[in-house]
Amino acid sequence: MLEVRWSRIASSALLMIFAVGLCFQHWHVFPYHDDWGYAVLSYVTEQTGFVGQNFSQWQLVNFLHDEYMNWSPRFLAFFIQVNLFKLGIDAVRLTQVAVLLGWLMLSVRIVSGRVRHPLVAVGVVYFLAWPSFITVGGLYWFSASIAYVWGVVPLLLAAWWLRCDATLSWRAVAMLALAALFHEQMAVTVIGVLVAFVLARRLDGERLPMSRLVVRCFPVLVAFGVIIFAPGNFSRQASSLQDGALLGNAVANLARLGELVAGSSAGVLA
């Protein structure tokens, strides 16, 4: 009993130290050019009739609509990003610190059943081992991290509720749909999680009526369709494919990823 108590104290202290370290790091992170472009509604598409960030929410909606139609389906991530930047860079930094802490605590809780557990140390070490192509090229690039990193939290929350409820509950469905709206890869991941969970429950003997299963899955499938089949995806693809070949482009990207991962011991761990 005493050992459990001290492990909880130690893990709580480590979480606090980790939070302070994240704050210190993030107060040295500043916007890139595209971060500022989105903050003033002037990236790829553009809204006019205002100065700086003195735009209305309706102008933001119009900007996100144009982005969705012509460049990117990540309207949820951009909506969050633009409004946080309107509050100030410190709001973005604090929110990302909270997201990373939530990511760590949810991961530990899913595995161990509680947050204050020695596995916190594993998560912290894993974070510290991330190579620069993940941190500098992603985590500390807010336009990238808000889309790719922040969406992990609702996915983990959905995983936790799936574990607690042992069925496809509405709260888990809501989080899966929310996670799918962050970016295209996450939408595909969410469908994979959904299919794996339904199959696992069937193997355990749960037999949801097909009509109920379809109704429960419908919000997730809608979110998936909204992101994957956005017109902007096809416009961006047409303008960025190498030699006009989708498969060749995918292979080239995988080869580049392999070089980055295999290029360092930290990359292998990542």
pLDDT in tens, the chain (270 residues): 656 678 888 899 999 999 999 999 999 999 998 999 999 999 888 899 999 899 999 999 999 999 999 999 999 999 999 999 999 999 999 999 999 999 999 999 999 988 888 899 999 998 988 888 788 888 999 999 999 999 999 999 999 999 999 889 999 999 999 999 999 999 999 999 999 999 998 888 777 788 888 899 999 999 999 999 999 998 887 776 544 554 555 566 666 666 666 665 555 554
- Give the phi and the psi of residue 13 in degrees, each rounded to 5: -65, -40
Q: Are residues 139 and 254 located together in one domain of the fold? A: no
Q: Are residues 6 and 103 located together in one domain of the fold? A: yes
Cα angle 166, 167, 170 (rounded to 5 degrees) comes to: 125
Q: CA 254 → CA 134, 143, 168, 249, distances in Å?
A: 15, 22, 34, 9
Q: Are residues 116 and 207 located together in one domain of the fold? A: no
Query: Which range of residues forms the domain containing residue 259?
Result: 152-269
Domain endpoint, select from 118, 148, 178? 148
Domain endpoint, select from 148, 171, 192? 148
Total number of domains in the chain: 2
- Report how far residue 50's alpha carbon sits from residue 169's, in angstroms, rounded to the nearest whole number: 44
DSSP single-letter state for residue 115: S
Cα angle 37, 40, 41 (rounded to 5 degrees) comes to: 80
43 beta partners: 45
Q: Are residues 173 and 250 located together in one domain of the fold? A: yes
Q: Are residues 19 and 119 located together in one domain of the fold? A: yes
| Cβ atoms of 152 and 127 closer than 8 Å | no
